[in-house]
Amino acid sequence: MMTSEHVRIIAIMNQKGGVGKTTTTVNLGHALAIQGKQVAMIDMDPQGQVATSLGLDNQQLGIDVVLLEGETIDTVKLHARDNLDVVPAGPRLNEFEHLNEGGVERGHRLRKAIEASSLSAYDFVLIDCPPSSGLLGVNAMFASSELIVPVSGDYLSLQGLSRMMQILKRSEEISGHRIRLWLVSTRMQLRRKLTAEVRKRVLKYFPSRVLFTPIRENVALAECPSFGKTIFDYRKKSSGAEDYFSLASDVLERRVADGQE
């Protein structure tokens, strides 16, 4: 089913907006690349913020023409940083959400495109997903062996999680392969009682699934996309850079908060 035993294909998804999904995709990807891993990012969100966050033109053709016209990933892949490539969303990606013809095959286009590309020789492929469970999200889930759900430190995040679990279960049933779940605590204001309470609950409900490093709320993380920079380009001594570098180690080592993985 999967592209290769070597590559880890990870969808980064949450139904709730504002939890740091694209921030996590971009900065985790760059952190893994800095640690010497060959990384590709695929932007499956029509907003196209992955390219923008890396200082690239988000109007270039990308995964849109791969999914709509059968173009190959390697013709639209862009070099972003050392060890880091990106497949932008492309201006027509939203059209794919409304595609009616193709039946069940529509859900497997991304997986097949990855298998037919050089990405199968990479260490990691990170897929930034839209905040919806439509056809784009389905393609991301069917292509992935792992799922990272960013959970911010508020109660609404917990509600979004139960919806995500339904989508995960359904995807596994339809695709016939298991998708390993990880949760990452984002936008954490560690001095707030509520933040600690939310993390405690997530740890309770998802034992051995919560990655060890919480990502602290950090002004530099919010600022860097508008400069087309990752946190490592923009302010590599910040707590945001420290946290995402540590999170990359969590992902590499499968290191979790309660030490049970």
Q: Are strands 146-152 and 84-87 parallel, antiparallel or unpaired?
A: unpaired
d(CA 80, CA 4): 24
- CATH superfamily, with its number, for domain 8-253: P-loop containing nucleotide triphosphate hydrolases (3.40.50.300)
Q: Within its chain, how far is the Cα of 215 from the centroid? A: 15
Domain ranges of the chain: 8-253
Res 130 pLDDT > 50: yes
pLDDT band at 3 (very low <50, low <70, confident <90, very high): very low
Res 192 pLDDT > 80: no
The distance between the two most distant Cα atoms of the chain, rounded to a whole number of Å, is: 51
Res 17 pLDDT > 80: no
CB 169 within 8 A of CB 137: no
- Across the range 245-256, mean pLDDT stands at 97
CB 13 within 8 A of CB 24: no
> 198 versus 73: which is more confidently predicted?
73
> Locate tokens 């997903």: which residue?
129
Dihedrals phi, psi of 230, to nearest 5 degrees: -80, 170
Instruction: With H, G, I as helix, E, B as strand and everything else as coil, classify residue 140.
Output: helix
Q: How many CB atoms lie within 10 A of CB 233?
A: 15
Res 16 pLDDT > 50: yes
Q: Which two tokens stand for residue 24?
A: 């996590």
d(CA 152, CA 149): 10
Q: What share of the chain is helix, strand, coil (3-state, %, to 5)?
A: 45, 15, 35
- Across the range 66-93, mean pLDDT stands at 97
Res 76 pLDDT > 80: yes
Q: Which two tokens stand for residue 109?
A: 């286009």
d(CA 232, CA 245): 9
d(CA 130, CA 68): 17
pLDDT band at 259 (very low <50, low <70, confident <90, very high): low
3-state per-residue secondary structure call for 104-138: HHHHHHHHHHHHCCHHHHCCEEEEECCCCCCHHHH
**pTM for this model (two decimals):** 0.94
Q: Are strands 84-87 and 39-43 parallel, antiparallel or unpaired?
A: parallel
pLDDT score of 125: 98
Spell 136-152 as b/e; 16+ CB within 10 A means b: bbbbbbbbbbbbbbbbb
Q: What percent of the chain has pLDDT over 70?
A: 96
d(CA 214, CA 145): 23
Dihedrals phi, psi of 38, to nearest 5 degrees: -85, 115
